[in-house]
Each structure stands twice: as structure tokens, then as C-alpha cells.
Amino acid sequence: MKFIAIDIQGYIFKTGFVVKELAIYDGKELSSNVFKAKKPYHSLTEQEKKQVKYCAENFHGIHYNFGDTDHSDISFIINSYLRDVDMVFVKGTCKEKYINKMLSESMYSSPVIVNIKNNNGLAKNLKLEKTNSDCPYHNLDEYLCSVKNVKDIYNYVKNCLPK
């Protein structure tokens, strides 16, 4: 069985989930992207600005205007990793829904999406902790990093699978 892990950091707006950082890992190859702002900060609603500030100061530490990948590339990035993949592991309902939405637009047969948080306790012992590694995208002393998370998810799932 071939599987990948996907982790996303972003913002939850009333209009939907907005990706800021995306990491995909298959045990060998890692893809990591930070996305440009979809619209200028000054055009966000006050509630969206609060969400951006809260996430940047308490979770991922990525400045709203930082990023080098266009949002229009997300579908291509995700789909490029799906060839011959049987399962995709994520942690969290918001992430599961977002990936399912992306896969519904896929040109490939969709793999099974497993939200390890809601899968009969699969993730009972997996805690995605903040890190202080030397990742250049983050501006906090400790932050949630999709690169670290996706490797932790992949390795955790790999260790849970029957040998």
C-alpha cells in the first residue's frame, strides 16, 4: 500500500479555508510550499484580519504577505503526488474537507482520505507539537510547521501499520 501524508497551515474564513503552508511527504520526497496572499490585507474583513493575526502570532508564525507560490497551483501540487497512491493521511477535519474538495477536482482516481484524528483513535498517541527548528518561513520562537507535522504524521502511520 502506498500512502502519503499531507499537512496544511492556514486560515479559516467564512468563505472557506485559505492555505498558507502546504507540505506533502511520501517517506522519501518532501514538497513544501508557502502561498502568496489571495487578496491584499487591507481588503480583508475585520474578522479575517483577526484570524490572520491570531494564526500568525499563535500557530504558524507566517506573515500574511509572505509566500512565493500562487494559490492556483495548489490543485496541481496535490494531484502531482497522487499517482499510484492508495491512501492520504491528514490530521483534522478542516484539512480532510479541504483535501477532499481538491481531490473531487482531480483527474486521477481519488485515494482514500484518512483523518487520523477521527479514525478510531489512530492518532491517540500522536501529538503535533510546536517546534523551534530552523525553518525559514516562520517568525515565532515556537510554531506549528507543516514540514515537521507531515513527517511526524507519515512516520506515526508507518509505525502503526502491520509489518
pLDDT of residue 69: 95
What's the pLDDT score for residue 129? 57
Residue ranges covered by each domain of the chain: 3-160
User: Alpha helix (H) ranges present in 13-135?
Assistant: 46-58, 74-80, 93-104
Cell matching residue 40: 491584499
Residues 6+ apart with CB under 8 A from 109: none
pLDDT of residue 42: 96
CATH architecture designation of domain 3-160: 2-Layer Sandwich (3.30)
User: What does pLDDT average to in each consecutive run of 10 residues of the chain (163 residues)?
Assistant: 92 91 94 93 95 86 90 89 87 88 74 78 57 60 75 87 69
pLDDT of residue 79: 85
pLDDT at 102: 83
Q: What CA–CA distance (Å, rounded) separates 41 from 129?
A: 29
